[in-house]
Amino acid sequence: RRLALARAFVRAKAQNQRTFLRRNTTEDIEAPLEEMRRLIARLDVCSDTDELMGVEGSIAAVYFANWSGLLADGPVRQAFAPASRNRRPPKDPINAMLSFGYALLAKECTVALLSEGLDPHWGFLHRPRHGRPALALDLMEEFRPLVVDSAVLSAVNTGMVGATDFMTSHAGCAMKDVARKALIRAYELRLDQMITHPVFDYRCSWRAVIRVQAKLLAKALRGEVPEYTGITTR
């Protein structure tokens, strides 16, 4: 049962990453998209969560290797194109913004889980560890590309942040206050954006979708629905 839940989180995240690339890139990425499709198909035969995380890592590597193609061509791409996903500490502006945005998203998911009476520290994909909201990290997987990656891309491509809004040294890359405030604004705008729910077909914000998914997860754990299905877009 734990593996089934973990697989649902990873599959939704991977499908959303692939869709995000397909929708927003300016490059020819048929080969990377096909590689991601092939890796996503492997998720169904993973025998444990360790194997699942291994495949997830391979999908993420393909995704982030093609992130530069999402950036506006010209000075923006030259200034911001990341080589890969990196953290602790992040080494470039894109990764600094992604890490900060994911921390905001983890908090949003923690609140949503608590509102459903779930302990955000007991995860299925992520292992519980002192001070780590493992279940919130599980729930946020499918929303990483939908909310945070989208907000970061918007902040960069629309000029909300610039290359001079960051401090880079041998210790890593950090956002200045102006970049942090701009990213928070882009993140909140994305959370409040109204969409048609892909499953229930009514209008709601991404913030509301997170709460709906927390509710569905609670229902799945209590046996009120047969399984948990992650949110995906077309």
The per-residue DSSP string of 90-143 comes to --SHHHHHHHHHHHHHHHHHHHHHHHTT--TT--SSSPPBTTB-HHHHHHHTTH
- Return the pLDDT at 200: 77
pLDDT in tens, 134-145: 999 999 999 999
- Return the pLDDT at 6: 96
198 pLDDT more than 80: no
Q: How buried is residue 74: exposed, middle or buried, by Cβ count under 10 Å (0-12/13-18/19+)?
A: exposed
Average pLDDT value for residue range 193-211: 88
Nearest CA-CA partner of 146 in 80, 102, 202, 81: 102
Residue 166, SS3 per DSSP: strand
Report the percentage of the chain scoring pLDDT > 90: 79
Average pLDDT value for residue range 149-173: 93
Q: When comparing pLDDT for 83 and 215, which is higher?
A: 215
Parallel/antiparallel/unpaired status of strands 172-175 and 166-169 = antiparallel
Measured distance CA(141)–CA(125) in Å, rounded:
10
Model confidence at 169, pLDDT cuts 50, 70, 90, reads confident
CB 18, CB 37: distance < 8 Å? yes
219 pLDDT more than 80: yes
- Return the pLDDT at 95: 94
Average pLDDT value for residue range 63-73: 92
117 pLDDT more than 80: yes
pLDDT in tens, 9-51: 999 999 999 999 999 998 889 999 999 999 999 999 999 999 9
- Return the pLDDT at 202: 83
- Return the pLDDT at 186: 97
Average pLDDT value for residue range 209-224: 95
- Return the pLDDT at 132: 85
